[in-house]
Amino acid sequence: MPKKFYITTPIYYTNNPPHVGSAYTTIAVDVLARYYRQKGKKVFFLTGTDEHGEKNAQAAKKANKSPQEFVDEIAKSFKETWRALDISNDDFIRTTEPRHIKGAQKFLSALKKSGKIYQGKYEGLYCIGCEKFITKKELADGKCPDHQKAPKKVSETNYFFKLSDFLDRVKKLISHDKIKIEPLERKNEVLALLKQGLEDFSISRQKVKWGIPLPFDKKQISYVWVEALVNYITAIGYGSNQKKFNQLWPADLHLIGKDILKFHALYWPALLLAVGLKPPRKIFVHGFLTADGQKMSKTLGNVIDPIYLADKYGVDALRYFLLREIPFGQDGDFSIKRLEERYNADLANGLGNLVSRVLTLSEKAGNFPVIASERKRAKQSRRKNELIKGVKSTQKKYKKALEKIKFHEALEVIWRLISACDEFIEKNKPWTLISEQRTANSEQKLKEILLSLLLSLKEIAVLLRPFMPATSEKILSQIKLNKKTEVLFPRL
């Protein structure tokens, strides 16, 4: 039985259509999903939309639409964008779907049954942009630093979750990497939060209407964050398909941005433990794409439409750029200038040039077919020639980088092989062998050179497949290597 690999993106708010920030996380998860599928794992890749709560309701009001009508439109634009960006998700959960509502209510009932819910009065501040209760300490100049807006004062009777009862257990799980939080500095950040101490949090809202009613008190609706986190289990059958749920839970990886770390690393495991479910295995946290140093966000209005970028530069160029430019985990400025520079240097002059060079050479040499009988010879040349030796070490380094979720390193390794191919061409000057009157010897040498280049190119295309699926297919179809030659290299 192949091993399952359940991987998720956050579910995005439907107050606005997708932007390059949400595309960033989704493309990253897509690359991992494609990589692990290629490795033979039974991948389940989930994404979706977070449609309830004040933030979405306010956006609908502003657009003069009913909340349902509004979120239907935005959810559609998310689905269309992910199709356009070649995202290979296995499911798309919307929190307004019956399967989610049913599962969320089951979860809320289980939480109540656990005895860890109590009624209390909340008085304090709330940032609608974050959909979270916020303390004065977290503000900068009286405003939420992420949304540049003053929070509103809230005073209402809510239900609270006894978070404090679970913090010791959660701390142990995180310290011992039973819930692995990466990169390390994020794990330390969570441990520091735990050291500071955390207050119980409210799981319901009294004055908000757009949401899921609490099964034990219909006058209140579920706090949007509790409901949103639960998507990771309702989508795989919690409350509707127990068998599927048992097969897929716990999640192998939640990939998120650093803005929602506390919810995923602390609240979510505690909520799961309260109802007797396992916590997720791993949470990987990436940084922010910034514009002139400031977080790109829909609320701040400094975002770029990923479809515009894909139309202008190509889907694969966008996918490549986002994961190559900024070391994954860190913040980094998104700039069109850099995208264009990388497009020209890495894609047009690097990869594109190598493909056309090798194809032209091979055509000029008479396109001798790379047939199965060449395998033996290629095996011999593998022992001799540096280029083929380099392919093996490229594979190893690539695998290591991707499994540590270091996309930029994996891509760097591929581009080193591209440079090695260029150097190999310069060194061996196959064109001199093409133009010469060919002897049996020179013909043999030419074949070996071209075969090494074609095989390296094939490997480059295979390694690029998760990142740039269409480009990879195009290269593979252009070089048309005989299927049998594939066994020369161990599969990934």
Answer for which of 289, 454, 464, 475 binds ligand ME8 (CB under 6 A) is 289
Q: 388: how many CB neighbours lie within 10 A of its CB? A: 23
Where in 424-464 does DSSP place strands (E)?
Answer: none
Answer for which of 228, 307, 323, 449 binds ligand ME8 (CB under 6 A) is 228
DSSP string, 196-243: H----EE-EESS--SSPEETTEEEEEE-HHHHHHTHHHHTTTTTT-HH
257 counts as binding ligand ME8 under rule CB under 6 A: yes
The total number of residues shown for the chain amounts to: 492
Residues 230-249, mask of contacts with ligand ME8 (x by CB under 6 A): -x------------------
Answer for which of 25, 222, 381, 472 binds ligand ME8 (CB under 6 A) is 25
Answer for which of 12, 78, 133, 407 binds ligand ME8 (CB under 6 A) is 12
Residues 38-77, mask of contacts with ligand ME8 (x by CB under 6 A): ------------x---------------------------
Q: At CA 92, angle to CA 334 and CA 7, rounded to 5?
A: 70
Answer for which of 128, 270, 296, 323 binds ligand ME8 (CB under 6 A) is 296
Between 11 and 75, CB nearer to ligand ME8: 11
Between 265 and 450, CB nearer to ligand ME8: 265
CA distance 38 to 334: 30
10 counts as binding ligand ME8 under rule CB under 6 A: yes
Q: Is 122 helix (H, G, I), strand (E, B) or coil?
A: strand
Q: 182: how many CB neighbours lie within 10 A of its CB? A: 17
Please provide the distance, in angstroms rounded to a whole number, between the alpha carbons at the two ends of the chain: 18
CA distance 362 to 470: 23
**440 and 351 in contact (C-beta within 8 Å)?**
no
Q: Which stretch binds ligand ME8 (CB under 6 A): 35-43, 188-196, 251-259, 477-485?
A: 251-259
Report 160-219 residues binding ligand ME8 (CB under 6 A).
none
256 counts as binding ligand ME8 under rule CB under 6 A: yes
Please check if 127 is assigned to a binding site. Answer: yes
Edge-to-edge, what's the strand order for the sheet holding 204-205? 204-205, 217-222, 213-214
Report 341-400 residues binding ligand ME8 (CB under 6 A).
none
21 counts as binding ligand ME8 under rule CB under 6 A: yes
- CA of residue 264 relative to chain centroid, distance: 15
Answer for which of 5, 6, 7, 13 binds ligand ME8 (CB under 6 A) is 13
Please check if 144 is assigned to a binding site. Answer: yes
Between 284 and 398, CB nearer to ligand ME8: 284
Q: How many residues bind ligand ME8 (CB under 6 A)?
A: 21
105 counts as binding ligand ME8 under rule CB under 6 A: no
Where in 67-226 does DSSP place strands (E)?
Answer: 91-94, 117-127, 132-134, 152-161, 180-182, 201-202, 204-205, 213-214, 217-222
In this structure, what are the phi and psi dihedrals at residue 333, rounded to the nearest 5 degrees?
-75, 135
Answer for which of 5, 24, 166, 284 binds ligand ME8 (CB under 6 A) is 24
329 counts as binding ligand ME8 under rule CB under 6 A: no
**209 and 221 in contact (C-beta within 8 Å)?**
yes
Q: Which stretch binds ligand ME8 (CB under 6 A): 110-118, 271-279, 294-302, 482-490?
A: 294-302
Name the DSSP class of 439. Answer: P
**49 and 89 in contact (C-beta within 8 Å)?**
no
Answer for which of 85, 144, 170, 260 binds ligand ME8 (CB under 6 A) is 260
CA distance 423 to 359: 16
CB 482 → ligand ME8: shortest distance, Å?
42
Answer for which of 297, 395, 471, 472 binds ligand ME8 (CB under 6 A) is 297
* Residue ranges that bind ligand ME8, judged by CB under 6 A: 10-13, 21-22, 24-25, 50, 228-229, 231, 256-257, 259-260, 288-289, 295-297
Residues placed in the known binding site for Zn(2+): 127, 130, 144, 147
